[in-house]
Amino acid sequence: MTDQRKLLERALLQLRDTRARLAAAVCAAREPISVLGAGVRLPGDVADLEAFWNLLRDGVDAVTPSVDTLDGHRPEPADRAENGRWAGLLTEVDGFDAGFFGISPAEAAKLDPQQRLVLEVAWEAMEDAGLPLETLQRAGTGVFLGVYNSDYLTLQYDDPAVINTYTAPGGAHSVLANRLSYLLDLRGPSLAVDTACSSSLMAVHLAVRALRQGECDIALAGGVNIILNPVSTLVTEKVLPLAPGGRCRTFDAAADGIIRAEGCGVLVLTRESLAAGRRVRAVIRGTAANHDGRTNGLTAPNPRAQADLLRRALGDAGVRPEQVTYIEAHGTGTPLGDPIEVEALREVYGDGSLPCALGSVKTNFGHQEAAAGVTGLIKAMLVLEHGQVPPNVHLRRLNPEIDLAGSRLSAPAALTGLARGEHAPLAAVSSFGFGGANAHAIVQAPPPPPAGAATLGKLVLPLSSRDPAALAPLARAYAERLDGCDPAQAAAVCAAAGTRRTHLAHRLCLTAAGPAELVAKLGEVDGGAPAVPPRPPRVAFVFSGQGSQWAGMGTELLRREPVVAAEVAECDAVVRELAGWSVLEQLADGGRLHETEVAQVAIGALQLGLAALWRSWGVEPSAVTGHSMGEVTAAYAAGALDRAQAFDLLLRRARRAEEGAAGGAMASISLPPDRVRELIAAGGRVGVAAVNGPRSTVVAGERQAVVAVCDAAERLGANVRRLPSRYGFHSPMLDGQDERLAAELADLRPGPCTVPMYSTVTGALVQPGQLGAAHWGRNLRDAVRFSSAVSAIAATGVTVFVELGPHPVLLRDLGETLEEAGVRYRAVGSLRRGQPASATLDRSLADLYRAGLDVDWEAVLGAPPADVPLPAYPWQRRRHWLGEATQRADLGTAVPQAERAATIALFVRRRIADALGLDDVEQVPEDRPLADFALDSLVIVELKGRAESELGVTVPLQALLRVMHGGTALDLAAMIAKES
């Protein structure tokens, strides 16, 4: 009986588990989808949601009078569509910021403008969502895009000579989505959808399904349509009626046909459970898709199928039809299609007490075909956001075939309020393909923005671009955005710019005490900045020694930075236990900082606080080193010592130094160490205490002996700086104290370094087991080989140095060492004597950002409120169009043997310039790494073929690939010459 009870209990547990998993699966299958952001490009110069709403609210008709007179990209066909002289057109479709996406001019000229437009609008949608690119890359983001026309590709069919390796991927529908995934390194599903006029809403439907099924955590969904070949309008007219009067009159008795239109819309979507803490523009509650089935014609609509579609979408959303108070209809403005659609809408949505308005964005722009569905969805989102229904433009008298009497449906001709019930307002959106593929979506008003986010009040503004020319317009846009902001608002903008923008290669970072100063600095930006390295530079922490202390050091820092305060409090507890006095009290008082023990321990505690702060900001060292006593804190930062070991060592070391070196003196002499040793040879208890740079040598010892060496150096013309020290550190005065210190530390058991540490005792990398008692004895007595340690660090590829201490006393010597070695570097301090800690740290952080470091901006600036509008990226567009690539004559191969190598090098550079569409061969320097040009496999194969055909050589593909990825044009020329 007991066994049966156990079996029953186990079965019940399994049943509960199964039910729970089933319930979770059902919830996941119907989880609402949050719209985090949207990007648009629409007729009427609409480039953002604000402009879109203003146009809708004001009832603007953006249709223009002629397709073929706006620009030179829409040629006159031999057989014009009779009613195709009207369209909703975008401007400057020939312009594209190819460099932003790493696309060469030659390839950009073959890229369908629909692909170009999707790239830019998708980026704008990401920015509107406040998602840096890294977030999308980590989320396995999917791309779902609707596309229908291929006008740009068909324009090339008349001239086969212009077709090249870029033509097929430049015009393929599949690549519309795939290129976006490729260029942004998005690893989720990537597909183009062609269901004609319902393509983009069908793409949203598929994105919703992929998100719910866990195929991706974020999705980019939308569509695009550009009209370039008038023949396509002729084709359209044979299937769908074009409005002869150039007006889309949806629902109106005078409706007489569609108006073709261009446009692009992209949404950033995620599951509702992943949207916590973010601004949400709308919530897609449910979607559905179906087909009309067999009707009286392939292109004839089916009201029964449409009604079934609406019910399925409502069921997927889990809402009742009477809750919906706005419907964005497909509404093309045809006398047949509009009444059929409204018949299905009335059947499903007609009953209920709340009024429900019908609308069609096609009355504003025309029919955007593959982009129509997403444009209507974004309009519905704006209706829910603003609580108003825009007018149906050109609606004068309802089509008599449309019967709304007795229903709650209406088609407003003026701006009206959106009806509201007990729940968040709901809207529905329809999109129908002329081949019978239909989609419907239910969208809900956005939830209120989450509260609780708080910035730290700092005004540090990081800006970046892919083109240096974009920095100045970006700065102007931010100056306009910040003008009139109070400090809290300005801090929110700074925090949003840091946390919600992708950080690109050309960088600017401004700091200010107030909004007006920040606006003024932005107004002074008139140029670009050099590109940062492709990978973040490696960083070294440099811990300074005694002599950097000052009364009041760190007091503001402890008040403003909780990370520092917490670390120094831990240090204070250790020092209280070991020495019986308080670091915090001494930092606040400052009266005993002239004492070696107090000064070195206080500096050490402050250094550990600064190290914790820099690390919390995302600045992680690849190496550490320390000057004199700073080597102890460097060992802590490297992981070799714990906090108690470090401060026990500092205290003992300071006492030995105090006892042995008191009454001495120190001086810095601008001579190499060997020359200084020659001066010391005259005698006396004096020695080289530190070699800080190539011509920066510190001497120390008994005061009279130091004075004698200084006098001798000055007679040689050297600059001598007598240091304000009453001790002869690192001098013969400490003979014997090193042994005593080592004996006191006999039980010290340091751990391994988890960060490479470079010792200023040896001037080299610390080896395992090196940091025992004997080492610290040498650290007390021996000369500080700072310059050697810095050189050793730089030899590993470290180019950024951060000095940690109360005042930067080592930066000049560090710089001289690196400059003599030919190292390009960036060096910053942390604090400065007598200056506000926040200002100096902010400036240093700004320097590191400009050098290319990845900064944890949320840790630096805090979390901005969910809804902080920021300026969009200022595209640097240039014209790219068919037949405009620069043509160059072939170099040929008939050259004297003596000039062969130079000729081949020039050939290589010209062919690469050709491939990239560059006008000047000098833009391909012979010594620049070829990998910098991001040449794809198609270009490399083409280069191989041309080299073989024009130079008469065989170029091994693997050898070519090795050189292309790791060599220069000169290297490639040498390889080809070897084969010739």
Count Cβ atoms within 10 A of the Cβ of residue 746 and give its class: 0-12 exposed, 13-18 middle, 19 or more buried: exposed
Is 367 one of the catalytic residues?
A: yes
Contact 836, 812 (CB under 8 A): no
In single-letter form, the type of residue at position 38 comes to: A
Asked if residues 486 and 897 have their Cβ atoms less than 8 Å apart, the reply is no
The dihedral through the CA atoms of 973, 975, 977, 979 has a sign that is negative
Least Cα distance to 543 among 759, 708, 694, 749 occurs for 759
Q: How many CB atoms lie within 10 A of CB 755?
A: 16
State how far the Cα of 140 lies from the Cα of 217, in Å rounded to an integer: 6
* Active-site position among 34, 104, 173, 197: 197
Number of neighbours of residue 533 by Cβ within 10 angstroms: 11
In sign, the C-alpha dihedral spanning 658, 663, 668, 674 is negative
CB-count exposure of residue 209 (10 Å: 0-12, 13-18, 19+): middle
Q: Quick one: CA dihedral 156, 161, 162, 164, positive or negative?
A: positive
Strand spans (E) along 658-733: 664-669, 686-693, 696-702, 720-722
Catalytic residue, from 173, 330, 506, 775: name it: 330
Quick check: is 627 catalytic? no
- Sign of the four-CA dihedral 94, 99, 101, 103: positive
Residues 6+ apart with CB under 8 A from 197: 148, 330, 332, 367, 369, 370, 372, 373, 431, 432, 433, 434
CB within 8 A of 236, min separation 6: which ones?
A: 81, 84, 242, 260
- Cα 938 from Cα 944, distance rounded (Å): 10
Region at 293 (left for phi over 0; alpha for psi -120 to 50; beta for the rest): left
| H-type alpha helices, 486-623 | 487-499, 515-523, 555-560, 562-579, 583-589, 596-616
Cβ neighbours, 10 Å, residue 17? 10
CA distance 683 to 697: 18
Token pair 């400009």 is at which residue? 850
Please enumerate in sequence order all residues whose Cβ is within 8 A of that of 690, keeping only pairs 6 or more positions apart, or say none. Answer: 627, 628, 697, 698, 730, 783, 784, 785, 786
- Measured distance CA(324)–CA(428) in Å, rounded: 7
Measured CA to CA, the distance from residue 238 to residue 233 in angstroms comes to 9
Hey, what's the torsion of the CAs at 191, 195, 196, 199, to 10 degrees? -50
| SS3 state at 472 | helix
Measured between alpha carbons, how far is 367 from 242 in angstroms, rounded to an integer?
Answer: 10
**∠590-593-596 over CA atoms, to 5°?**
160
Give the residue from 531, 506, 582, 545 showing the smallest Cα distance to 729.
545
DSSP H or E stretch at residue 903: helix 900-916
Q: Which of 431, 465, 628, 670 is catalytic?
A: 628
Q: Is 728 helix (H, G, I), strand (E, B) or coil?
A: coil
197 is known as an active-site residue: yes
The overall longest dimension of the chain from CA atoms, in Å, is 115
Are the CB atoms for 850 and 508 separated by under 8 Å? Answer: yes
Residue 628 annotated as catalytic: yes
Phi-psi region of 519 (alpha: psi -120 to 50; beta: other; left: phi over 0): alpha
Active-site amino acid positions: 197, 330, 367, 628
